[in-house]
Amino acid sequence: MNPNRVHIAIVGATGAVGVEILRVLERRHFPVGQLTLLASPRSAGKTMNFQGREHPVRALEASAFQGVDIAFFSAGATRSREFIPHAIQAGAIVVDNSSAFRMDPKVPLVVPEVNAADLHSHAGLIANPNCCAAILAVALWPLHQAATLKRVIVSTYQSASGAGAQAMEELLQQVRDHVSGQPLKAEVLPHQLAFNLFSHNTKIAENGYNEEENKLIAEIQKMFHTPQLPMQATCIRVPVLRAHSESVVIETEQPLSPAQAREILSRAPGVKIVDDPATNHFPMPLEASGDLDVHVGRIRQDLSAPPQHGLALWISGDQLLKGAAWNAVQIAETLLPNSKKF
Amino acid sequence: MNPNRVHIAIVGATGAVGVEILRVLERRHFPVGQLTLLASPRSAGKTMNFQGREHPVRALEASAFQGVDIAFFSAGATRSREFIPHAIQAGAIVVDNSSAFRMDPKVPLVVPEVNAADLHSHAGLIANPNCCAAILAVALWPLHQAATLKRVIVSTYQSASGAGAQAMEELLQQVRDHVSGQPLKAEVLPHQLAFNLFSHNTKIAENGYNEEENKLIAEIQKMFHTPQLPMQATCIRVPVLRAHSESVVIETEQPLSPAQAREILSRAPGVKIVDDPATNHFPMPLEASGDLDVHVGRIRQDLSAPPQHGLALWISGDQLLKGAAWNAVQIAETLLPNSKKF
């Protein structure tokens, strides 16, 4: 590929993540030479603005990847399974935002701050992790390197955007209906989300965990190369639009004080410390929204763990950015032939 | 006191909890003989309906407790400290919803399902626990009795009602302003709550924990008579109106399987099991609102703990009911001379 004129394709260009990929490519001045926007036949014929110019959206088909250098897939696992082989065959490198290939041992699953080195082994396909896993990985990896994680317990506060643009619109519509005294409808998500929250709406597996929880655990274990790391997750959907928050408790093999952890995280790539007890100012989804960094705060000793061997953290990260679009573009940046990060 | 004609006083009668105390007394057919409603001078002169009749609200003053049998205090710690001695002097038994006396070793702190026996030692004053502590206590006590808790880790999802009626109204106003395109104001709570969430807005203590977290821990330890029980808490305010939810991870001394825990909790007083993986139906604040019981579900092995010695739970309970008004009235029911529960 010509590193100054990369031919980019976005599959699912009109979806919540697809739109953000386009915005992040602009924001990062990614050297886009040509842009192929693909979506369902329903969206074909629309146009989308990129760097001040309208680009047509075309219907996704197997022959759409001719000449594409990097293809971002964000149209669900089924479409990824069907069309990614065609994209690879056409010579594109695929960054897949779906869960289809994440646990395939031949496919690297990458958060660049954590395991960019795993990109070396790719065979045309790189998986982008689950949103909660990506956000958590950025905050935990520097602590793991410093003191070796022994146990991770996480409870999530996941925004509507994780279920797509329609779920965000449903939350907004519920709020409008509440204000105008209309009955609230839940059609995209299984329950009313306005003024409510609920256990993540994915299937409960045999181990009693829902798919989101099992993904979060398995993907952290894969990216950290610690397949046996003991992890516990509870995933909850909350009435927030687009950033996920996580309450995290860790145990470490080596001693690690809250002050040390704070110092380590303040130097860590992709992390912004938001931690001011004097003004009660800590990570909030509203402030993390739109930010490429993961916000980390409330760094303190876990009162139920031995001193220096347990910490609690509170983090927020934009689900559509670090949890999806930004991590995908960041992988693409790392793949550029002239990247110094690779 | 005449158990068929109890003279009840409510201090803070017009507040969010005061109103609920009145409703719960009606709902439970509490044998109210006389009703003294007390509030700030601002609210004096209003009337409140009880069993179809309007009752006047009077200004709180030291002389207001003559002849009162049971006085519910729900007007903040400062007013509790000032006026409770007068109520006790006048012969009333006080149930205090504030934090003023909860950790006083001479004052029983009671959730009737847990430690009704502690009521025997009262000297005119009983403290009603923090809302999150009351809700958590109901779910954990039966498991503690069965298998002895060794460690508790909890992350909360706390509704606006915990900060009072004004905070609930502020959330609703923010939603209305959002819909009508007006700027959102945060005056009662420190940050916008609509479409957002944040670390609980109490002062951060020297140990790095906010007051709410420290209360939750200390109060469970006191009620369970386990002052050394290792506990970890993260308290978060979410855009929900009136029920609190909690993600709970426990370790136990003795073996306890998820099936055993479920069976124990299904027989436990004050608990309703809401746990249907087939329909993804688990505790939700919207369903717990208005219910006297604490909803418990997602009962499963903690994947990061040794089998049979760690569990995860997800609970929701009405902050204004079990977290405040209902627990207070329940204490009063237990205090009635003819109560079989005492």
Distance, in angstroms, between A286 CA and closest chain B CA? Answer: 6
Q: Where in chain B is the domain with CATH 3.40.50.720?
A: 6-128+324-335
Domain spanning B6-128+324-335, CATH architecture: 3-Layer(aba) Sandwich (3.40)
CB B312 within 8 A of CB B298: yes
The C-alpha angle with vertex A160 and arms to A205 and A177, in degrees rounded to 5, equals 120
Domain A6-129+324-335 CATH class label: alpha beta
- pLDDT for residue B342 is more than 60: no
CB contact under 8 A, B191 and A284: yes
Residues of chain A in contact with residue B197, where contact means CB-CB under 8 angstroms, are: 157, 238, 240, 245, 284-285
* Separation of alpha carbons B191 and B202, rounded Å: 12
Residues of chain A in contact with residue B232, where contact means CB-CB under 8 angstroms, are: 249, 302-305, 310, 312
Tens of pLDDT, residue by residue over A293-327, are: 999 999 999 999 999 999 999 999 999 999 999 99
Tens of pLDDT, residue by residue over B41-79, are: 999 999 999 999 999 999 999 999 999 999 999 999 999
ipTM: 0.96
CB B51 within 8 A of CB B57: no
Give the model's confidence band at B285: pLDDT under 50 very low, under 70 low, under 90 confident, else very high.
very high
Q: Tell me the residue type at B24.
A: V
Residues of chain B in contact with residue A217, where contact means CB-CB under 8 angstroms, are: 303
CATH dotted code for B133-319: 3.30.360.10
CB contact under 8 A, B277 and A204: yes
Count of positions (residues) in chain A: 342
Distance, in angstroms, between B292 CA and closest chain A CA? Answer: 18
Q: How many helices (H) and strands (E) does chain B have?
A: 9, 15
Closest partner residue to A247 (CB to CB) among B175, B236, B312 is B236
Q: Where in chain A is the domain with CATH 3.40.50.720?
A: 6-129+324-335
| Contact pairs from chain A to chain B, CB under 8 Å | 169
CB A214 within 8 A of CB A132: no
Helix (H), strand (E) at residue A219: helix A211-223
Question: What per-residue confidence (pLDDT) applies to A149?
Answer: 98
Among residues B310, B309, B150, B234, the alpha carbon closest in space to that of A305 is found at B150
Tokens 């030479």 belong to which residue? A33
CB contact under 8 A, A312 and B232: yes
CB contact under 8 A, A302 and B232: yes
* Separation of alpha carbons B217 and B195, rounded Å: 28
Pick the residue from chain A with its C-alpha nearest to B189: A280
**A-proximal residues of B, 102-161, CB under 8 Å:** 151-153, 155, 157
Q: Does A192 touch chain B (CB under 8 A)?
A: yes
* Separation of alpha carbons A267 and A265, rounded Å: 5
Give the model's confidence band at A337: pLDDT under 50 very low, under 70 low, under 90 confident, else very high.
confident
- pLDDT for residue B4 is more than 50: yes
What 3-state DSSP class applies to B52?
Answer: coil
The pTM score is: 0.96
Tens of pLDDT, residue by residue over A159-178, are: 999 999 999 999 999 999 99
Residues 6+ apart with CB under 8 A from B228: B221
Q: Does A312 touch chain B (CB under 8 A)?
A: yes
Distance, in angstroms, between A182 CA and closest chain B CA? Answer: 14
What 3-state DSSP class applies to A286?
Answer: helix
CB contact under 8 A, B232 and A303: yes
CB contact under 8 A, A304 and B178: no
* Separation of alpha carbons B284 and B315, rounded Å: 8
Q: Does B197 touch chain A (CB under 8 A)?
A: yes
Distance, in angstroms, between B290 CA and closest chain A CA? Answer: 14
Distance of CA B177 to the CA centre of its chain: 30
Q: Mean pLDDT in chain A?
A: 97
CB contact under 8 A, B217 and A282: no
Q: Does A62 touch chain B (CB under 8 A)?
A: no
β-bridge pairing A236-237 and A243-252: unpaired
Q: Which residues of B participate in catalysis according to the annotation?
A: 131, 244
Residues 6+ apart with CB under 8 A from B272: B291, B293, B294, B295, B296
Residues of chain B in contact with residue A195, where contact means CB-CB under 8 angstroms, are: 239-241, 285-286
What tokens does B70 get? 């049971």
CB contact under 8 A, B232 and A249: yes
Please give the C-alpha separations between residue A328 and each of A218, B42, B170, in angstroms, as whole numbers: 19, 58, 38
Q: Does B304 touch chain A (CB under 8 A)?
A: yes
Question: What per-residue confidence (pLDDT) applies to B54?
Answer: 98
Residues 6+ apart with CB under 8 A from A83: A11, A60, A62, A73
Tokens 């031949």 belong to which residue? A106
